[in-house]
Amino acid sequence: MGRTARTFRNAVDSEEARWKNFRRTLRPARRVRLDQIFDYARKYADAGTMMVTPRVTEVVFISSLMEMLSEIESLRETIARLENAIEENPS
């Protein structure tokens, strides 16, 4: 017997398709950003699956925010390292 409930990844795909007309009106660089949001959601599919009755859009955006925050933290750490290196070697 096959699975009766759709997977969360399928739900993300369906949600992405729902945003198709919106995406079409965006400039190419912004389309890439929108695509990234849905890619981020797929990275967190395991967590999204744990939502009993998810509102897919909420999980997509929360997943994206989490990924963006991770990237911001990584950039902050890189900036701090570069600033320390400059302070130690002010040639």
pLDDT in tens, 20-58: 999 999 999 999 999 999 999 899 888 888 876 668 888
The structure's pTM equals: 0.72
Name the CA radius of gyration of the chain, rounded: 18
What residues contact residue 45 under an 8 Å CB cut-off, 6+ apart? 7, 8, 9, 12
pLDDT in tens, 53-65: 668 888 889 889 9
